[in-house]
Structure 1
Amino acid sequence: MAHGYAKAEVGRGSVISSPVPAVGAAAEVFSSTSNQWEQCKVIRVEDNIATVAYQRGRDHVQKALPLGHPQLRLGSAMPAPAPAALPAMSLRPVCREGAKCKARQDPRHLEAWSHPFDPDYRRSCEREGLQPFLPTLHLLFGWVDADGSGKISRSELEQALPLLERLQGERLMLTEESWEQLDEDGNGAVNFSEFAQWAGPRLGLPLGVDHLFADQLPPCGIIGCPCPGFRLDERAALFEMFGEKKKKKDKKAKKEKKHKRDWEECMCREVDVGPQRIQERLDSCACGHKKMVHRLGASREMRSVPLPQHWVQPPAEMSASKGAPIIPLPPDHCQLLQRLLDSTYSNVWTRDRKRHHPDNPNVPRGFRVVRAYRAQNFKNWQEYAVRRAELLKDAKDRAIQHYDVQSSAEWASYTHACGIEPLQRACNEWVLFHGTAPPAALEICRSDFRISLAGDKTGTLYGRGTYFAESITKADEYAKAADGEYAMLLVRALGGRVRYCDEVEPDAEDLTRSCIEGPYDCVLGDRKKCRGTYREFVFFDTENLFPEYIVIYSRQY
């Protein structure tokens, strides 16, 4: 029972054996639809997976189950159980580590203990008085990701095929073609979004990411306030702690005491559970309003993955629409983006400029924004937001070393002026530049980056990933003209745990492996330190990237 199947007991303790049946042999399969055993015939046997066929009413049904499965028995000598009861099974003790069990690659451990997705798991939890983990795609992904890297390798998926076959109820084949379809971005590993898109329609499990967004507060509830989310006003908090006179403190203490006594009649009881959290409600946000009005502004029906509040299209239409809406930005936004380009300009030449622009290898003296667009790709945002929530949760358990990025610092003024969701510094969320051609920029925003195509035109100094820059000048080296105009993508990027490298000749293979198979999320190549040019940021998984803005610009010489 290497995959957690429990032995089924029928009648007086007899145990189902698992001989290899012949094609055409009679068998019985338990149907959860009719809640009874159905007479069937074996039509195919491959790799200990038996496919049986039977007729239910006017429907011809086929079902694939592993040999020895409690809902499949060979021959017709066994008495059928009562129609209203599922086949009995022996109950094993519950592994308290659940889907995070580190011994799940040990067949002896899997045979002795019950885990999530095992047939006896829920009943075993009930027997021991434990609350079972609800089956979700996020939980299943964590189980298949045996090394806890946040990505599923091909070998991990192959080892999990028997479990996935049991959950889906049919034979699964992992071919080269099916692996390429599953690995959408072509980086050689499957992230959670790619796994969920494949497993969701087949298994019918919920996404299971609500817990990742439980701590995120919505925008300010005051009409007209552009604040996209609560951010503690640290200056106000310090003033509250140290800046008040004693008389004022005494007056405030009396007021809070009365508030605690009368809290049941206070409007803030709608958003908290009692007086012990009153101070938290009264904390001030950087926008000048209290924390409680951010909670009151929350929608009662929030999606599993909250959408950015500055998106203009309703979520229902957005998720149903084909492709990604491309929204033109007004002139005042373009003016702020122009400031971003100006502030990240640097008159530093590199050999890449001569390589990609041999006809005019000189550094432009500036760049002028012609127009700009925002891409609202719901599918890509869902993938990105889940990964960001995972990194934020991980950062609470293990501190992440922060890296300041020039473009992200300048981006803060744009987000504040336009009411755009701010960057999360706790997980090294940045805004970076990626130069390309206008048609390619549009295609990337409507679909996504393709890691498998990385390096075809820009080189692979730090590995075969997607390259970004904090300087408009560096990213412009890779931009291509269309009718005299160039395109620059502004990309939200999750640096997470950064693999820093300041070597002149880095080991590209080692850097790539440390991100795809190891604990790192990106590579920061510091050519500014070792060569006096620019820092480069390299990513190997599209779930860490969200191309949000297209800036069409011209070069000024």
Structure 2
Amino acid sequence: AEEAAAAATEEAQSARQVAALVSADAAAEIAATKQRLAQAQAASAAASAAKANAVARCRRVEIATGPPRHWDCVVTASSSASALVATPPNQGLVRLSAQSDPCVWSVLRRMLKTDGTLLGVGRDVRPSRPYSELQLRSAWRIEQPAAWARYRGAGEQVGAEMSQLPSAHKHERGIERVMTREGAAKLPGSLQANVRERVLLHGTTPNSLLSILSNGMNERFSGTRAGTAFGEGLYFAEDAGKCDQYVAPTSKMSDELRQMLYGGPPPPGDLCYLLVCRVVLGQHARTQQQISQGAVEMDTGRPVFPHNIRRELAAIPGVSPPLHYHSLVVELGRSVTRYREFVLFHSERVYPEYLIAYQRV
């Protein structure tokens, strides 16, 4: 009887052990199943969040690259570059006037204000009769959706690069006091602070103007009308007096340009042309020296250009992976005594938004 009881007890213990093992295995399997389910739910949530973020980003890009609301043109297609409506035959030029656009007209007129004693002075100035003032005669807004989308897309790229820069490498020295900032604040459409967007001026001639209106600005033509003392890029100024050195007063232009601008005879007298541009300065380098003087960056003492390259700025020191400066600001000093200059080496970071016709008086 004792042996039978012991055997029964042992059998019961074995049964309990087996049951415990089965229960533990089942519990482990249940826990593993729950973990797999939680991981699947987390992955699904992450995928949904990523999709939502992608949709939101696409929407932001769509809004950013879509034509500004204050434009007169009507765009019914998607804002993607491939679906944008074609630029009108007049290259998207919208004629402005003091009566129909008093605020914009006033801002553009004020942007022509400059120190009259410095007009007509300098080695780059073409000989002409004495004058002391620049007077606005005609103005246009340039509404080109495809070019705008390209410009805003370039701004998105610069913004992404700016976000990668350590805070120690971000500064606005020299560009926080751009002379056009007050006027720019009164123009329709806000400026993008995260990419250091500014409004700057660019003087041109009728011969170049038709190409710019048709194809946009092109840094590859740098040096065809003026020097490239600070690199082979697009040159801008904050003072119309500087731009006035590079224009060509004339009443002559091609029939195509005349029809595009005026639809008939232009106003009497010799006219000069100036573009009011939005530019993405991003993280800029500063210098006071020409290339021939071994241009170095004012804040780091390093060369502004890499090796013998003059079409691209140097990499920002201490940043990895390397990012190049987005623009060059030429400060007053050794090489420049009257007007600062701003140089960009990628034309997609420039959008000519207004065209001004003015007279020297």
Q: Any conservation in 2 of the 1:406–1:470 contact (CA below 8 Å)?
A: yes
Q: What's the CA shift string for 1:158-212, capped at 9, x where partnerless? A: xxxxxxxxxxxxxxxxxxxxxxxxxxxxxxxxxxxxxxxxxxxxxxxxxx89617
TM-score w.r.t. length of structure 2: 0.63
What residue is the counterpart of 1:389 in the other structure? 156
Q: What's the CA shift string for 1:410-457, capped at 9, x where partnerless? A: 324532xxxx11222332111111101135334313321121111111
User: Shift of the alpha carbon at 1:405?
Assistant: 4.3
Q: Identify if the C-alpha distance between structure 1 residues 329 and 535 changes in structure 2 by more than 3 Å, giving closer, same or farther.
A: same
> In the aligned structure 2, how far is the partner of 1:475 from the partner of 1:354?
13
What residue is the counterpart of 1:314 in the other structure? 74
Residue 182 of structure 2 is aligned to residue 414 of structure 1: no
| Structure 1 counterpart of 2:337, from 532, 553, 556 | 532
Residue 326 of structure 2 is aligned to residue 521 of structure 1: yes
Q: Any conservation in 2 of the 1:406–1:471 contact (CA below 8 Å)?
A: no
Relative contact order: is structure 1 or structure 2 higher (C-alpha 8 Å, sep ≥ 6)? 2
What residue is the counterpart of 1:181 in the other structure? none
| Structure 2 counterpart of 1:451, from 199, 219, 239 | 219
TM-score w.r.t. length of structure 1: 0.42
SS for the counterpart of 1:390 is helix
Q: Any conservation in 2 of the 1:461–1:506 contact (CA below 8 Å)?
A: no
Q: What's the CA shift string for 1:44-73, capped at 9, x where partnerless? A: xxxxxxxxxxxxxxxxxxxxxxxxxxxxxx
Residue 236 of structure 2 is aligned to residue 468 of structure 1: yes
> In the aligned structure 1, how far is the partner of 2:311 from the partner of 2:159?
23
Instruction: State the one-letter code of the partner of 1:305.
Output: T
> In the aligned structure 1, how far is the partner of 2:119 from the partner of 2:64?
46
> In the aligned structure 2, how far is the partner of 1:304 from the partner of 1:509?
32
SS for the counterpart of 1:513 is coil
Q: Identify if the C-alpha distance between structure 1 residues 134 and 482 changes in structure 2 by more than 3 Å, giving closer, same or farther.
A: farther
| Structure 2 counterpart of 1:542, from 319, 334, 347 | 347
> In the aligned structure 2, how far is the partner of 1:345 from the partner of 1:379?
37
Q: Identify if the C-alpha distance between structure 1 residues 477 and 454 changes in structure 2 by more than 3 Å, giving closer, same or farther.
A: same
Q: Any conservation in 1 of the 2:200–2:237 contact (CA below 8 Å)?
A: yes
Matches within 5 A, 1:28-107: none
SS for the counterpart of 2:117 is coil
User: Shift of the alpha carbon at 1:335?
Assistant: 2.9
| Structure 2 counterpart of 1:440, from 205, 208, 232 | 208
Say how many residue pairs are matched.
Answer: 265
What residue is the counterpart of 1:348 in the other structure? 118
Instruction: State the one-letter code of the partner of 1:401.
Output: H
| Structure 2 counterpart of 1:337, from 105, 108, 113 | 108
Matches within 5 A, 1:59-458: 131=47, 211=57, 214=60, 305-316=65-76, 319-323=84-88, 324-331=91-98, 332=102, 333-342=104-113, 344-345=114-115, 347-348=117-118, 353-357=122-126, 359-360=127-128, 364-396=131-163, 398=165, 399=167, 400-402=170-172, 403-415=175-187, 420-458=188-226
Q: Identify if the C-alpha distance between structure 1 residues 413 and 506 changes in structure 2 by more than 3 Å, giving closer, same or farther.
A: same
Q: What's the CA shift string for 1:200-246, capped at 9, x where partnerless? A: xxxxxxxx8961763x9xxxxxxxxxxxxxxxxxxxxxxxxxxxxxx
> In the aligned structure 2, how far is the partner of 1:209 from the partner of 1:549?
33
Instruction: Give % identity.
Output: 20
What residue is the counterpart of 1:104 in the other structure? none
SS for the counterpart of 2:65 is coil
Q: Any conservation in 2 of the 1:434–1:467 contact (CA below 8 Å)?
A: yes
User: Shift of the alpha carbon at 1:346?
Assistant: 5.9
> In the aligned structure 2, how far is the partner of 1:313 from the partner of 1:502?
42
What residue is the counterpart of 1:227 in the other structure? none
Gaps of 5+ in 2: 1-39, 252-269, 296-303, 316-321
Q: Any conservation in 1 of the 2:138–2:357 contact (CA below 8 Å)?
A: yes
SS for the counterpart of 2:176 is coil
Q: Any conservation in 2 of the 1:350–1:533 contact (CA below 8 Å)?
A: no
Q: Any conservation in 1 of the 2:305–2:314 contact (CA below 8 Å)?
A: no
User: Shift of the alpha carbon at 1:527?
Assistant: 3.5
User: Shift of the alpha carbon at 1:329?
Assistant: 0.9
Instruction: State the one-letter code of the partner of 1:457.
Output: R
SS for the counterpart of 2:249 is coil
Q: What's the CA shift string for 1:122-160, capped at 9, x where partnerless? A: xxx9xx98749999xxxxxxxxxxxxxxxxxxxxxxxxx
Gaps of 5+ in 1: 1-124, 136-207, 217-301
Residue 280 of structure 2 is aligned to residue 502 of structure 1: no
> In the aligned structure 2, how far is the partner of 1:209 from the partner of 1:468?
37
SS for the counterpart of 2:359 is strand
> In the aligned structure 1, how far is the partner of 2:227 from the partner of 2:240?
19
Of the two, which has the highest radius of gyration? 2
What residue is the counterpart of 2:318 in the other structure? none
Cα RMSD (Å) of the superposition?
Answer: 3.5
Q: Any conservation in 2 of the 1:434–1:469 contact (CA below 8 Å)?
A: yes
SS for the counterpart of 2:70 is coil
